[in-house]
Amino acid sequence: MFGLVAALACAQPGDHVIMAPGRFDLTEALTVPSGVTLSGAGKDLTVLAHHHDGPAVQAIDAEDVTLCDFAVESDTPFFAPRVTPDDPSMGDVRVEWGLVWIHGGSGARIERLRVRGANGDGSLASSGICCRKTSLRWIKNCVSSAAGRYGIALISAEAEVIEGNDITGSSSGIELRCDDTNGQPSQCLIRKNRCHSNRLFGIALVSSESMGITEN
């Protein structure tokens, strides 16, 4: 994994970092910089095995990041109580981030990922794909399972479309909500997703809005 961490640290806008088939252990987050594509050989061929308290893959204040064609499988059911991974405050708070974590920036594309949580349940459980305070292009054709909290979540974020995803075994399959600190609603077209066997909601909008919810 050191080579991959180093490759991402050195990557420049327009670079494409490609992961080979195989299973790779993660003990820290892979951080994808602006303008970089991180891809694997396919969501059943390249697997990032997540073992730590933090995201597996993240983009922080980055522009035009693409994540595609790999899997994340976690064995960490619960995280330390903090709203974001770098939040120093602990206490009675929800974990509002995910194994795939986009925070700030704009233009992210997320497609053909498979994200499997560790079956945690409750406010400290991991989420699958979580995007906060960002404007992204889309989340398409991903599989999110056993994520505990959200399969896919937008938190004070907006996207053109969430489409063609399969989400199971979470509290909420797809959730759009506002951030507790600024009240900014999330917005997105939600189309052609399959949300099934989730504990509370298939699709939930909390103080947020959709340009359309269709063919789910």
Tell me: the pLDDT tens digits for 44-57?
999 999 998 899 99
On the question of pLDDT at 123 being above 60, the answer is no
Q: Are 202 and 150 in contact (CB under 8 A)?
A: no
> For 6-25, how does the pLDDT look when each residue is reduced to its tens digit (9 = 90+)?
999 999 999 999 999 999 99
Residue type, 167: I
Query: Which residues, at least 6 apart from 202, have a Cβ–Cβ distance to it below 8 Å?
Result: 172, 173, 174, 195, 196, 216
For 151-166, what is the mean pLDDT? Answer: 96
Which of these CATH numbers, 3.40.50.970, 2.70.180.20, 2.160.20.10, 3.40.50.300, describes 2-214? 2.160.20.10
CA distances from 116 to 7, 16, 73, 129, 168 (A): 25, 24, 5, 10, 10
Q: Worst-scoring range by mean pLDDT, 12-16, 73-77, 119-123? A: 119-123
On the question of pLDDT at 131 being above 70, the answer is yes
Q: Residue 184's pLDDT is what?
A: 86
Domain extent listing, the chain? 2-214
On the question of pLDDT at 133 being above 70, the answer is yes
Confidence bin at 191 (pLDDT 50/70/90): very high
On the question of pLDDT at 29 being above 90, the answer is yes
Q: Residue 120's pLDDT is what?
A: 61
d(CA 49, CA 108): 23
Q: Residue 77's pLDDT is what?
A: 77
d(CA 65, CA 84): 20
CA distances from 195 to 1, 85, 101, 154 (A): 33, 27, 20, 16
What pairs with residue 145 in β-bridges?
116, 168
Q: Residue 22's pLDDT is what?
A: 96
pTM of the predicted structure, to 2 decimals: 0.94
Confidence bin at 3 (pLDDT 50/70/90): confident
